[in-house]
Structure 1
Amino acid sequence: MTLAFTALAPLPRASAQTAPQTEAQTEVEKKTEPGLFNDLANLFNPQRIANAGPPPADAVPYALTINVHGDSDLRKAIEAASNLETLKQRDPSGAAGLVRRALADQRDLTAALYSAGYYAGIVRITIAGNAPDAPNIFQIVEAAHARGHVPIVVDIEPGQQFHFGEVRLLDAKTGRPLADSPTFRALRMVPGEPALATQIVRAEGIIVDYYRQSGHPFVHVVDRDIVADHATHKLDVTMRVDTGPRATFGRFTVSGADFLTPNFIEDRIEIPPGTPYSPEVLNRLRRRLLTYESIGGVRINEASKLDSDGTLPIEIVVTGRKPRYFGFSATYSSTDGSLADVFWGHRNLFGGGETLRLDAQVSWFGEKPDAVPDADPFGYKLSASFMKPGIYTAQDDLLANAAVLREVTNAYVREAVTFLAGVRHRFNDQLSLQVSLDLEQSRVEDSTGTRDYSIIGIPFYMNYDSTDNELDPSRGIRFSGTVEPYAYLGEAGAGTTMVDMSFSTYHAFDEEKRYILAGRVSGGSVIGASNIYDVPPQRRFYVGGGGTVRGYDYQSISPRDADDIIIGGLSYFVASAEARIRVTDTIGIVPFVDMGAAFSSATPDFDGLKYSAGIGLRYYTAVGPLRLDLAFPINPGPDDGDFGLYVSLGQAF
């Protein structure tokens, strides 16, 4: 089992709500019961908030009956839209509070019928047999209250569902049909299909997005005509659209970037004047600027009109982050050991977006490592990471990392000094290539004894990422690949080459991204080694644990020697699949399966693959999903555990 937490600095408390409260907000008591259990319960059941707290002194309890005639599928939508239903565990205050609830339901339930395509529906609400707007309704409520719970009946006759009839998109200036327009299928307003009011509202946004993507920054829907034919149960929709002129990008101005060297932002805009206008181009620019740690926010303001030359001016407003930060993190595992890390960093070291981070880690393996049973289980790592953007051009960054460490695993114990420095070139917003120099001086002890290694390597690292979100992708693909030839200083021979590649893909099945299928395949090989022992233990492949096959111990799905001690492999293969399902806006479940193993041959032979399956819980926050995964081995060996538990920020891959 592995648990981890990280702390940076205290987060400010949210300010108190000062906006006017709606009827529902008035009815919901904000006070909740104290204690961790209730906080967690409220997280998974927001209705507890409505039920918490003492009832008002003049509470009026009521007995609710909801009748939905004709279409039973409507009941859930009606109940979800009804304040009388959702707040029934919280009695309203006085007769006036009860009447307000009923009147609000008259409006909200009609809207719910429209949302489902029922435009001839009838909503009848009675309080003690009378309409909520009856002249003497307060006296009626008080009289019914004196006898007990006030009876309320909601009677819904939805009638026949309407379907889209004629759907037209017209040019607001000429009144003629638009020659280039989104399809009815894209608008989800296909003639003959159910005429949901929600789709009509969404269609306006789809129209605006469509023409903005086509280079029209000032597009807007001027008006819409909606005609319901009660004889044919058809809904005719006409939208008049002013697309505005097609535009190209003009001059860019930058403000708020005084904390960076002059022209730092301008050099990274990379949008020449005359480029056709596209909001996606601006979104990519914004995301690219936000990759620099010194930049905390980027706001892109489009001008309200074109310049005299027909181009669109753009203003980029940049805000900085606090340059210095510090924090700590800790990890506990009953199988992999414990780790504590204290770190300090600077996000803008010399004013040009340079970053520096210093880490001091201590670790404890937790038990005697199998390979070196008499080894001290304590480890450490002191490291420094540095990045300087734009060393040659704005697309070239210098990255360097140096570390002094002692590493304890079940397969080996390593004491080392490492240094890695290279240049990363960004070809575009999705593709980059890094070429580095890798140096290592280490002493490694494993089941065969102790050896000193002086290693020099030239790793080539390529990364391609077309996903829409770093921590929670819903579409696109990711590919990363490393090819590193390396040799041992002072020894003859060509050395070996390590190849390691990973590919993952993501697909959302719905517009709201509530159903996402994610898959990953990874594999690697060490080329040029005649046997496993020609490769240093720390450069071999190991499989097992939260980063590869969940449910198994760290490194446990790897080749072993005659004494059943893990020695690692010359190749590996791992595959995973997840179904990411959002139950609510903040809660999701993730069933998953993993498979994989490391192999003693230079190419995977797929013999001895291990499988696992499990279920995950996601709590979606503004910065990314909090992940809790519980995994179970499907074909465990005699020494494998019963389950694995993993906690982290962000998806598993």
Structure 2
Amino acid sequence: MAFERRTKRLWLVLAFCAALVLSAFPVPAFAQLFGGPQDETSENGAAGGFFGPIINLFSPKPLTSGPPAPDATPYAVSLTVNGGDSALRDRIEAASALERLRERAPSGAAGLVRRALADRRDINAALYAAGYYGGIIRIRLAGIAPDAPDIFQRVEAARARGPVPVEIDVQAGPLFQFGRVELLDAANRRPLAEAPSLTRLRLEPGEPALATSIVRAEGAIVDHWRRMAHPFARLADKEVVADHKTNKVDVTFLIAPGPVATFGHFTVVGADFLTPGFIEERIEITPGTPYSPEVLDRLRRRLLEYEAIASVRINEADRLAPDGSLPITIEVSARLPRYVGFSATYSSTDGSAINAYWGHRNLFGGGETLRLDAQISWFGEKSEAVPNADPFGYKLAATFVKPGIYTAQDDLVANAAVLREVTNAYVREAVTLLAGIRHRYSDDLTLQVSLDLEQSQVEDSTGTNDYGIVGVPIELTYDSTDSKLDPSRGWRATATVEPFAYLGEAGAGPTLFRGAVSTYHAFDENKRFILAGRMAAGSIVGAGLYDVPPQRRFYVGGGGSLRGYDYQSASPRNEDGIIIGGRSFFEASVEARLRVTDTIGIVPFFDMGSAFASEWPDFDSIKYSAGIGLRYYTAIGPLRIDLAFPLNPGPEDGDFGVYVSLGQAF
């Protein structure tokens, strides 16, 4: 059994590494190697052969652009770039259709000429985008310019002898810098008060005069005045002058800010699937409040959190009301009320699970949600504490949310479950109920006060015991991230305090403290490099270790905490080496999320953590691990595959761990 389990894990690792290789190397090469002949592609450019589906999954773009053109005119291109750096050459190569599509011959001589004429425009745009305004572009087809009178005859004659020779010669010229940059009122050409700084606009004098910076600044300027309560702000005109004597670019923006406005009357359209006034109660914008697009965006995102609502469109009126306010129309649409689905998770250390669910997004018409889950799990290995236990578990759960139980900011949240749980430390059969009120203080901050009830029978290394638990968890949550499944900026933090009226053998008095914080930072606008970090800790005070029921102790190890180590394995053990859990824990992780293509990402990571028998973490037995992950980005979130290795394993620890799930690790 041990050999078979190791073999299965080895095949998973090999498959994981193959996926990494396929995503990192040029796809055409693998198409030749694994997909049969190089021309074995479908009409849409998909790779053929036995490995074609795998190659297509990890390919950022089709291998070809389609079937050959009629009357194809093959050509051989020579591209020369003088001046600039390698990044400029990459820009020019990407802009040039002649270079980019050279494997795809155009139709006839006219097609080649059209491609060459378009290259003049596109290469020039690439030079401007990089700050080169004095470039010279020479394109020759069969030795002459593409707009020469006899160009078609020369191309046809050259084609008869073989591929048409194409020469592209780009003289980049000097790099221009920003000179004078002004933001003026379009009405009188005078400087505007409270204008954004040139540093913020990335238009500082002396910096490279990238055309992309000018274009980006146009939107930033309009957004600035809209945030200053000018809803009709617009860029009336701009003047860009390149001085070839000084290699400077002067830019003048002529701005029409428009009038200052306040929020006026809100009209709701399309909300007949909800109880009357549902949307109006949640607008929370008092008429007369200064206009702000950010306030409207927060409102839109807040309304979209209700599962019954499919879309929210906020339409601003095209003119102000007589009192200077701006009327707003909110248009909402409904999602399908019922849904079904299933999910699956796999881990070589945590076990596997399959879950089927049914849900209703608008149960009684007031945005109430009900979800029923049926899960079957398999631990995969023998439980250390209960070696003869059946490895299969189950969970039947119901989750209900009632928005606006008291006010629009108060929601009723309830979850009930009947379950059987198998772990290395214990086997539990239980009935649980967690019900409480969640109050929203702001879009980022919520507080939930609940009642925690559990009646369970737990078997561990000490025997079988019945436990009754009554607690009052108080949880404060802060979340300023931009995405639930794949955040690129912001913070998440939770803090929980749960005093127990009854906690198994401990009775009344014990209190649980637990907190976690994570942060995310994208280093570029396209979010291709994100650094993410997480830290969590907890403690149970007022009770001895064996007075705390095993299922309420702290455990570390596995995909949700310390990757690379077996589930719960970085936790205290008894004198027989069996996991018993602890009264405190500490965890920390850091990840570098690197996008290789639009759909493929590589994530090196480092984890550390351990649980402790003492009331507070003592850090004497911290475990460490490192690894690399593959992310396949989908519309609903990234598919995660992580391969982790323990750095300071004990004799009871494995060699590695493999984890597959949807969403980032944290």
Select which of 599, 603, 617 maps to 2:616. Answer: 603
CA distance in 1, matches of 2:104, 2:655: 45
**For the residues of structure 2 that align with 1:524 and 1:87, how far apart are their CA atoms?**
58
Contact 2:638 2:664 in 1 (8 A): yes
Residue pair 2:538, 2:586 contacting (<8 A) in 1 also: yes
Q: How does 1:52-451 map to 2 (within 5 A)?
A: 54-73=67-86, 74-451=88-465
Structure 2 equivalent of residue 593 of structure 1: 606
**Per-residue Cα deviation, 1:560-590 (whole angstroms, up to 9, x for no partner):** 1111111111111001111222333333322
Q: Could you report, residue by residue, the CA deviation over 1:311-332 in whole angstroms, capped at 9, with x for unpaired residues?
A: 1111111111111111122233
1:15 maps to none
- In the alignment of these two chains, the number of paired residues is 627
User: Cα 1:43–1:492, aligned 2, differ >3 Å: closer, same or farther?
Assistant: closer
Aligned to 1:643: 656
C-alpha displacement of 1:122:
0.5
Which residue in 1 is equivalent to 2:574? Answer: 561
Check 1:198–1:39 CA distance in 2 against 1; reply closer, same or farther (3 A cut).
farther
- C-alpha distance in structure 1 between counterparts of 2:449 and 2:219, whole Å: 44
Rounded Cα–Cα distance in structure 2 between residues aligned with 1:617 and 1:212: 41
Mapped partners of 1:96, 1:644: distance in 2: 59
1-structure distance, mates of 2:560, 2:49: 34
Match of 1:14 in 2: none
Q: Pick which of 492-501 and 399-408 moved more.
A: 492-501
**CA–CA distance in structure 2, aligned partners of residues 453 and 490 of structure 1:** 5
SS of the residue aligned with 1:265? helix
Shift of 1:55: 3.0
Runs of 4+ in 1 over 4 A off after TM superposition: 489-493
Q: How far does residue 539 in structure 1 lie from its aligned partner after superposition?
A: 0.1
Structure 1 residues 84 and 44: alpha-carbon distance in aligned structure 2, compared to 1, 3 A threshold: farther
Alpha-carbon separation, structure 1, partners of 2:350 and 2:468: 27
After TM superposition, list the pairs within 5 Å mapping 1:20-35 onto structure 2: 30-34=44-48
Per-residue deviation, 1:143 = 1.4
**For residues 458 and 470 of structure 2, what CA distance do their matches in structure 1 show?**
16
Q: For the Cα contact (< 8 Å) 1:453–1:488, is it kept in 2?
A: no
Contact 1:596 1:609 in 2 (8 A): yes
The question of whether the paired residues in 2 share the 8 Å contact of 1:50 and 1:87 is answered with no
Equivalents in 1 of 2:62, 2:304: separation in Å?
39
Question: Is contact 2:347–2:559 with CA below 8 Å preserved after alignment?
Answer: no
Q: Which amino acid aligns with 2:652?
A: D
Deviation at 1:339, TM superposition (A): 1.8
Q: Which residue of 1 aligns with 2:563?
A: 550
Pairwise CA distance, 1:475: 1.9
Alignment gaps of 5+ in structure 1: 4-27
Q: Deviations along 1:463-519, whole A, 9 cap, x unmatched?
A: 011122222222221111111111437978533111110011122223333322211
Give the whole-Å Cα distance in 1 for the aligned partners of 2:274 and 2:651: 58
Q: Write the distance in 2 (CA, Å) between the matches of 1:541 and 1:519.
A: 21
Distance 1:616 1:36 in 2: 26
- CA separation in 2, counterparts of 1:356 and 1:395? 19
Gapped runs of 5+ residues in structure 2?
Answer: 1-8, 14-41
Q: Which amino acid aligns with 1:628?
A: I
CA distance in 2, matches of 1:344, 1:509: 40
Cα 1:301/1:393, change in 2 over 3 Å:
same
Give yes or no for the alignment of 1:620 onto 2:633.
yes
**Amino acid across the alignment from 1:624:** G
Query: In structure 1, how many angstroms separate the alpha carbons of the residues matched to 2:135 and 2:506?
Result: 87
Residue identity in the other structure for 2:330: I
Q: For the structure 1 residues 489 and 187, does the alpha-carbon distance in structure 2 shift closer, same or farther, using more than 3 Å as the test?
A: closer
Report the Cα distance in structure 2 between the residues aligned to 1:103 and 1:551, rounded to whole angstroms.
Answer: 57
Q: Is the 8 A contact 2:346 2:661 kept in 1?
A: no
- Corresponding residue for residue 22 of structure 2: none
Separation in 2, partners of 1:174, 1:71: 40
Question: For the structure 1 residues 489 and 241, does the alpha-carbon distance in structure 2 shift closer, same or farther, using more than 3 Å as the test?
Answer: closer
After superposition, give the CA deviation of every residue in 1:41-83 in whole Å (9 maximum; x if it has no partner): 24544454326x5533532221111111122332111111111
Q: How does 1:1-40 map to 2 (within 5 A)?
A: 30-34=44-48, 37-40=51-54
In structure 2, what is the Cα distance between the partners aligned to 1:216 and 1:127? 53
2:624 aligned with 1:631: no
Tell me the distance in 2 between the aligned counterparts of 1:583 and 1:492.
Answer: 53
Q: 2 CA distance for matches of 1:425 and 1:71?
A: 57
Residue in structure 2 matched with residue 455 of structure 1 by the alignment = 469
> Quick one: which amino acid aligns to residue 410 of structure 2?
D
Q: Quick check: 2:44–2:62 contact (8 Å CA) kept in 1?
A: no
Give the partner amino acid of 1:389: P
Q: Give the conservation status (yes or no) of the 8 Å contact 2:370–2:398.
A: yes
Residues 339 and 511 (structure 1 numbering): CA distance in 2 closer, same or farther, change over 3 Å?
closer
Question: Quick check: 626-635 or 275-284, which moved more?
Answer: 626-635
Deviates more, 1:34-43 or 1:126-135: 34-43
Q: Which sits farther off after the overlay, 537-546 or 357-366?
A: 357-366
2:489 matched residue in structure 1: 475
SS in 2 for 1:620: strand
- Inter-partner Cα distance in structure 1 for 2:215 and 2:49: 42
Q: Secondary structure at the match of 1:159?
A: coil
Q: CA deviation at 1:529?
A: 1.5
Question: Partner residue of 2:3?
Answer: none
Per the alignment, in what secondary structure is the counterpart of residue 614 of structure 1? strand
Alignment partners' CA distance in 1, 2:215 and 2:312: 29
Equivalent residues of 1:298, 1:317 under 8 A apart: yes
Distance 2:595 2:580 in 1: 41
**TM-score computed with the length of structure 1 as normaliser:** 0.93
Task: Report Cα offsets for 1:386-429 as digits up to 9, x if no partner.
Answer: 11011111111111111111111111000111111111111111
One-letter amino acid of the counterpart of residue 317, structure 1? E
**Percent of pairs with identical residues:** 70
Q: State the SS of the aligned residue for 2:64.
A: helix
1:231 deviation in Å?
A: 0.7
**Larger CA deviation: 470-479 vs 385-394:** 470-479
**Native 8 Å contact 2:453 2:471 kept in 1:** yes
Q: Is the counterpart of residue 527 in structure 1 residue 541 in structure 2?
A: yes
Q: Structure 2: how far apart are the matches of 1:29 and 1:197?
A: 38
Partner of 1:20: none
Cα displacement (A) at 1:94: 2.1
Residues 30 and 464 (structure 1), Cα distance of their counterparts in 2 relative to 1, 3 Å cut: same
SS of structure 1 residue aligned to 2:214: helix
Pairwise CA distance, 1:632: 2.0
**Aligned CA-pair RMSD:** 1.9
Aligned mates of 1:490, 1:200 — CA distance in 2: 67
User: Deviation at 1:91?
Assistant: 2.0
